[in-house]
Amino acid sequence: MNPFRKNLQRNPVIKFCASIRIAIACLALLFILTLWGTIDQVTNGLYLAQERFFYSFFFTFAGVIPFPGAQLVLWVFFINLVCVALTRLVYKWDQAGIIVIHFGLLLFFVAAFVTYHGTEESHITLREGEGTNVSQGYHDWELAVWTEADNAQNVVAWDTKGLRPNDRLAFPEYGLTATVGHYYPNAEAYGTGQPSPDVVSASGIQTVKETPLDKEPEKNLPGALLTVRTSGPQGKEREVSVLLYGGEEQPAKITSGEQTYFMQLRHKRSPLPFILRLKEFTAEWYPNTQVARSYKSLVGITPAGGSGSREVLISMNKPLRYKDFTVYQSSYAVDEFGRESSTLAVVRNAGRLLPYCASFITFGGLALHFLMMAFKTKLR
């Protein structure tokens, strides 16, 4: 046996980490978390269940009792699997199936890590004839600031995820700093609709109150109270309280000297390396029914800075792929004037093919092992 491997096998830490008891415990915990997280979706919805059970290291239930989240369990399981690969797996031909299964699973863990950290999801909603090179997040928000001269084309934005009171947000391009008074991921706004002398807001709101997160995260509307420090006339600094609410369509307007700034809480926007223009949208129904047969968006795609445009038909199960971006047909809507708009999901996923590879390798291992076992049993 390889002396390095022998040494590893003697190492008590690695020996402990490679224990099959840990593997079984991890499998059992994953089983419990998956079941629990599924049932929890009935009351709290998919998004909150994901955050609580599957994307956390720990969570508490019944108020105080801690329980490991899937992220922690998967890390432990990954370490266990690496140690097993180093010390316990028997690298012989008759164990080929088992070896391939475990290496396939290791690749699954890598794929999960890459996709979890490397995936960005957003969407584009277009009417026929419209085009864009910016996509909008589903439930991530940003604090965007721009000046009158920028006309909302040049924007400086801060991601609002995890904002806490007293956080300082600097906008050096504009000489602004904002200090967070409070930030609520979901809030209700109250006010008279009239401008207040104490606080600047877009729509005359005077206060925002925190409300519990909605089970459908798209319905959450954040609210924030910021203290914005601007350079006033004669270079004097002044502080302005700004109240922002996700439900406002217009930005709050802050005037400092001759300069006017706009500030808004809005869905996070991401630039795309292409311009997408919707040429035609078609919804097909089975005759005499309300059952959809297909949705199709004929789009023109023009690479950023490029002149050539090509047409692509996006439909259910047939997305558009452009570098590491994939554009899917997500939904459609008809407004009160009967105009149709198509919503396309935009996903950027650098490790998209990793789960595919991991799947086939692991299945290959399972099939190999199953056939070898069946053959052995038959021989017996």
Least distance in angstroms from the C-beta of 217 to other proteins:
13
Nearest-angstrom CA–CA distance, 300 and 311: 4
Give the nearest distance from C-beta 319 to other proteins in angstroms: 7
Q: How far apart are CA 303 and CA 276, in angstroms?
A: 9
Identify which of residues 24 and 334 has a Cβ nearer to other proteins in the complex: 24
Over the range 66-94, which residues count as b (16 or more CB within 10 Å of their CB) and which as e?
Answer: ebbbbbbbbebbbbbbbbbbbbbbeeeee
Of 6, 39, 61, 323, the one binding other proteins (CB under 8 A) is 39
Pick the closest to residue 130 from 341, 273, 372 (CA basis). Answer: 341
Cα separation, 317 vs 13, whole angstroms: 47
**Spatial contact of 167 and 180, defined as CB atoms under 8 Å apart:** yes
Span near other proteins by CB under 8 A; candidates 10-18, 33-41, 196-204, 247-255: 33-41
Which of 54, 67, 103, 138: binder of other proteins (CB under 8 A)? 54
Residue 70 has φ and ψ, to the nearest 5°, of -65, -30
Tell me how far, at minimum, the Cβ of 111 lies from other proteins, in Å.
8
Binding residue (CB under 8 A) for other proteins from 254, 295, 297, 301:
295
Helix (H, G, I), strand (E, B) or coil at 3: helix
Q: Which residue in the set 58, 61, 286, 375 belongs to the binding site for other proteins (CB under 8 A)?
A: 286
Which of 8, 11, 15, 30 lies at the binding interface for other proteins (CB under 8 A)?
Answer: 30
**CA-to-CA distance for 54 and 90, rounded, in angstroms?**
32
- Taking residues 86 to 105 in sequence order and writing x for each that binds other proteins by CB under 8 A, - otherwise, the string is --------------------
Does residue 115 interact with other proteins by CB under 8 A?
A: yes
Minimum distance of other proteins from residue 9's CB (angstroms): 17
Q: Does 334 bind other proteins (CB under 8 A)?
A: no
Quote the tokens at residue 179: 């200090």
Nearest approach, Cβ of 308 to other proteins (angstroms)? 26
* Cα–Cα dist 375/98, whole Å: 15
Shortest reach from residue 335's CB to other proteins, in Å: 21
Give yes or no for residue 319 binding other proteins (CB under 8 A).
Answer: yes
Cα–Cα dist 192/178, whole Å = 25
Q: Does 338 bind other proteins (CB under 8 A)?
A: no
Structure tokens at 308: 């050539």
Beta-carbon contacts of 28 under 8 Å, excluding residues fewer than 6 positions away, are none
Calculate the CA 307 to chain-centre distance.
Answer: 32
Binding interface with other proteins (CB under 8 A): 20-21, 23-24, 27-28, 30-31, 34-35, 37-39, 41-42, 45-46, 49-50, 54, 111-112, 115, 119, 121, 285-289, 291-295, 316-319, 326, 328, 345, 347, 349, 352, 355-356, 359-360, 362-363, 366-367, 369-370, 373-374, 377-378
